[in-house]
Structures are given as C-alpha cells and as structure tokens.
Amino acid sequence: MESTIVLADPEPVVLRPGGVPVEALAALLGRPIRQDADDGRPTAPGQLASHYAPVAGVRLNATMPAPGEVLVGFGAVQGALTLSERGDLAEAATRLFQTLREADALAGPGGTIAFAPIPDTGLGRAINDRLRRAAAPRG
C-alpha cells in the first residue's frame, strides 16, 4: 500500500488514503482529519478514477463469484485467491496489488474479478479506495 497523502495547509485533509489510516493521523494530531471531496480533478498522485484498473472488469463486495469470475476472498469469504484468510487488513494491504495482477491474469481480457467485501475502517479505507478505482469505468 502506498503512502497516505495529506495536505496540511491550513487544516489537514487526506487527499489519498494509504498505509497510515486516517484514524491514526487524527489520534496523533488530536483532532479530526477531513477526507478530500473527490471532485474528479486530481490533486495528488493516484487520484484518477481508473488509476489502478486491470484489464479485466472488477466487481466489488462479492460473496460468491458469478460464472466465469475470479473471486478474491477476504476473511470468511473464500476465493480462488485471497487478500487475507484471517481478515487481516495489514496483510490485505500488503497483498493487494500482487493479488490484483494475479487475478487479472486468471480472468483474462473480457473476464471479471470479484472482490470480497473489505471493512471500510483503518487500512480498509485505503484498500477500498484502490478497489473502487480499479472498478471505475475506463475511457
């Protein structure tokens, strides 16, 4: 997982969630940290809607694969590949891009990768940000 990008002037704003969760930054600074409202104009690296897009299509929050899909599991959701069998967000963040590349190769052109639900807290926010970008329409 890449770095968290924060604009610190005048108030801290997370431009791109990353390896340091927003909650940890807020605890360190002793105040809430705002998330950037994505208006479609990139202000930091990795903010393009389809920045992490594989060749295959991507479906999110899947608990079962549709016919022909490659399911990437997490926690209790088992798949052909997994981000973390234990449901560990740190492990999932570490494995995300390698697993995305492996799933893309398995799915092939015209195929689809289905990702199990990832909790949207802590590192899960950064993982979900990357997955939403991978699933974004291209073109």
Residue 40: its pLDDT value, please?
60
Instruction: Please tell me whether residues 25 and 72 are part of one structural domain.
Output: no
Domain count, the chain: 2
Residue 43: its pLDDT value, please?
60
Residue 11: its pLDDT value, please?
82
DSSP string, 70-134: EEEEBTTB--SEES-TT--HHHHHHHHHHHHHHHHHHH-TT-EEEE----SSTHHHHHHHHHHHH
Residue 46 lies in a domain: no
Write out the residue range of the structural domain in which residue 28 sits: 5-35
Residue 8: its pLDDT value, please?
77
Instruction: Please tell me whether residues 77 and 113 are part of one structural domain.
Output: yes
Instruction: Please tell me whether residues 69 and 131 are part of one structural domain.
Output: yes
Residue 22: its pLDDT value, please?
80
Residue 101: its pLDDT value, please?
94
Instruction: Please tell me whether residues 30 and 84 are part of one structural domain.
Output: no
Give me the tens of pLDDT residue by residue for the chain, a chain 139 residues long. Answer: 577 777 777 888 888 777 777 888 888 888 888 876 565 666 665 555 555 678 999 999 999 999 999 999 999 999 999 999 999 999 999 999 999 999 999 999 899 999 999 999 989 999 999 999 899 887 6
Instruction: Please tell me whether residues 72 and 127 are part of one structural domain.
Output: yes
Residue 37: its pLDDT value, please?
59
33 near 25, Cβ under 8 Å?
Answer: yes
Residue 10 CA neighbour count, 13 Å, CB half: 0
Instruction: Please tell me whether residues 74 and 114 are part of one structural domain.
Output: yes
Instruction: Please tell me whether residues 74 and 111 are part of one structural domain.
Output: yes
Instruction: Please tell me whether residues 31 and 67 are part of one structural domain.
Output: no
